[in-house]
Amino acid sequence: MHEHAMPYKKIVFVCVNQRPPGERVCCAGGGGVVLYAKLKNMIKERGLRGRIRVSKAGCLDRCEDGPNIMVFPDNVWYSHVAEADLEPLVMRLVESLRAEGQLPRNYGG
């Protein structure tokens, strides 16, 4: 095992868990897979891929509050996320990176 510093400034976990119909609700049923794909694309388009990693998560056991997204190391949890929330979510990530001095001064994304 090799231990080292986190290779990303932030990791955004998007729950994409899918359950069969008739079982407990799931984030995929609420659009989690689409949210994951769109968020990943937004991070790429804004040149943030080396700083922010968007990853799929399995069930986080907050299914009734889904779709769920959590951000590390910010310790922020977003629930009931809709596509319209992604832009403000990305803006918060950018603001957080900026406050931490993790973006170039001239970053305009």
State the nearest-atom distance from the C-beta of 68 to ligand FES, in Å: 5
Stretch that binds ligand FES, among 35-43, 58-66, 70-78, 82-90 (CB under 6 A): 58-66
Q: Token digits for 78?
A: 């977003």
Stretch that binds ligand FES, among 39-47, 55-63, 83-91, 98-106 (CB under 6 A): 55-63
17 binds ligand FES (CB under 6 A): yes
Stretch that binds ligand FES, among 6-14, 38-46, 61-69, 82-90 (CB under 6 A): 61-69
User: Which phi and psi angles does 65 have, rounded to 5°?
Assistant: -100, 5
Integer angstrom CA distances of residue 96 from 33, 73, 86, 102, 109: 25, 11, 15, 9, 13
Contact residue for ligand FES among 11, 34, 37, 60 (CB under 6 A): 60
Residues that bind ligand FES (CB under 6 A): 15, 17, 26-27, 59-63, 66, 68
